[in-house]
Chain A
Amino acid sequence: MKYFYLVWSNLKRRKLRSLLTVLSILVAFMLFGYLSAIRQGFNQGISVAGANRLVVRHKVSLIQLLPESYQARMERIPGVNSAVHATWFGGIYQKPSNFFAQMPVQPERYLDMYPEYVLPAEQRAAWLATRSGAIAGKVLAERFGWKIGDRIPINATIWFKKDGGATWEFDLVGIYTGVEKNTDTSGFFFRYDFFEETRAQGSGLVGWYTVRISDPARAAETAAAIDEEFANSPAETKTEPEGAFIQGFANQIGNIGQIMMSIVAAVFFTILLVAGNTMAYSVRERTNELAVLKAIGFSDRKVLGLVLGESMLLTCLGGGLGLVLAWLLISLGDPTRGSLPVFFFPVREMIIGVGLVLGMGLIAGILPALRAQRLHIADALRR
């Protein structure tokens, strides 16, 4: 710590240059933090996917439907405990930008399959008792200001009603929460039996199945058995772990996570050059001073440490403030006002952020520091 004022004083030498460098690092890390939260929102389903759950979909594509009758056949396959289906409804609430997932499901079976969705007992009972009943996740309900008892009209884009109408009306009977912070509570579920009796087409067909297996270690074997069961049928299946399924679903609009991280990587690389340049100039313009430090007894290693310390301080200031600012902005809430199922700064990304701050400090400072370390005193003093 006794060298801190020396390091700090050197950073203050060119205040504007240091400030601009700190600001550029700050922006990079703020971007990193904020995009991490958005990426988490896109990927959350993958991270919370159950290891004991498989998803069975049509072999050709997700939009091809499967017979409802598969449910019972799946449950007879050894290794399968239970199966539950869901179907993509794809309706519009008020306007297309109010996107959220709506799915008709079998209430009891679905809630049993997904114990991470927490619905109070009386609301569960109300759902079972109300054919037009629906439940919404906490995030979704907050997004639109819904409360239990509200009537939610949703315009169909795929599933029209038998009477030719496009507007489906649901009674909100429950608002579910998540067991964990990263549980998706942005969904909207309504009863399959109501859907089945009201829809104009596709009777007896469902979107996909979620299957709970008894032994996650034998997931591949069980998945193969399921696909084997429906091989050579008009609707062959493709069974995969839930995480892979969700990933595939998200990838329909591109690998968001990879795109974001590519942007962040490009920004980091640029900032690394900026910070490295700042340090290189800083060392070059005080070659003489560094030589004086060595002359009065500072060892090569101490001089190396001082320059590295300066680089670390520069990036820690910028990076640290950037991460804190990202955390504050994320705390203000989802920029899409609820389209993302979850929106928070994951601890893992925070730790990675701190690692990147330190790594950037080290990389930006190492070459100038080595140059300072190797400085020949007599030569440098003559300059």
Chain B
Amino acid sequence: MTAGDKVLGDEVPGAEVLGDEVLVKISGLGKSFKRGAETIQVLDKLDLEIPRGDFLALMGPSGSGKSTLLNLIGGLDRPSEGSIEVGGERIDQLSGSRLAAWRARHIGLVFQFYNLMPVLTAQRNVELPLLLTRLSRAQRRQHAAVALDIVGLSQRSNHYPRQLSGGEQQRVGIARAIVADPTVLLCDEPTGDLDRKSGDEILDLLQALSREQGKTIVMVTHDHHAAERARRTLYLEKGQMSTEPAA
């Protein structure tokens, strides 16, 4: 099965697999950047629906707006136009502080370069999102231990990032992303910095999170091999979304 086989053509990408609740609804989304006197339109009147439990791969050439779209869905950036609803909430209308609180509750982020705190152990890194909750220290440690166990790193909880391989660091990154049980897991090229074997392990993990725990995952990738692990793949080019890669 290829990435293209996973979706059926439709006006609103994702609508075809919506048998369930729509978790993310993007309407008329536009994002432009100013570079000197020039305005660069990265996303242009984009529509997208992502059902709960979906595992969506976003592909496209560099500069096509994949990461920008991911940032907008995750509330890390604000759209120039259009709306983004996640779980029925218009996140593009939230104030800065409410958006931060919303991210803490609903978004788990996995980065290409792991972005772990080098001064903290794996355990402490995973605990970071839990600092924003009302959990006690013991509860935080317990939750972090469970998350590390899920990613298979419970034996390395006291290791610092520099003492871990790239694959292990990315597992810690995933544990950090899932520890607060987010509504959506956003992965920005999670295997981009890893060798094939480590990359496969990470993809196995993401797939397991999708299938066994019903996590909604949006993954930006350049790698077709990685995209094949998703339930469906969408392509972004010149600010537009399509279900097929451009010729």
List the interface of chain A (C-beta within 8 A of B).
2-3, 5-6, 9-10, 12-13, 288-289, 292-302, 376-378, 381
Contacts and interface: CB of A to CB of B under 8 A. Distances in A.
Nearest to A289: B117
B77 interface: yes
A378 B132 contact: no
Nearest to B176: A296
Nearest to B106: A297
A240 B177 CA distance: 75
A301 B97 contact: yes
B109 A296 contact: yes
A300 B97 CA distance: 7
B103 interface: yes
A298 B132 contact: yes
When A and B form their complex, which 8 residue pairs have the shortest distance between CB atoms, in order from nearest? A297-B104, A299-B100, A9-B119, A378-B77, A377-B76, A297-B103, A292-B115, A378-B71
B124 A5 contact: yes
B137 A300 contact: no
- The A interface is mostly helix, strand or loop, or mixed, namely helix
Contacts of A288: 115
Contact of B129 (A296, A300, A378): A296
A2 B100 CA distance: 19
Interface of B: 68, 71, 74, 76-77, 96-97, 100-101, 103-105, 107, 109, 111, 115, 117-120, 124, 128-129, 131-132, 137, 176
Given A296-B132, A378-B71, 14 more contacts: A2-B137, A6-B131, A9-B120, A292-B111, A292-B115, A294-B100, A295-B76, A295-B103, A296-B107, A297-B100, A297-B129, A298-B132, A299-B100, A302-B132
Contacts of B176: 296
Nearest to A301: B97
17 contacts: A6-B120, A9-B117, A9-B120, A10-B119, A12-B119, A292-B111, A296-B103, A296-B104, A297-B101, A297-B103, A297-B104, A297-B129, A297-B132, A298-B100, A298-B132, A299-B101, A381-B111
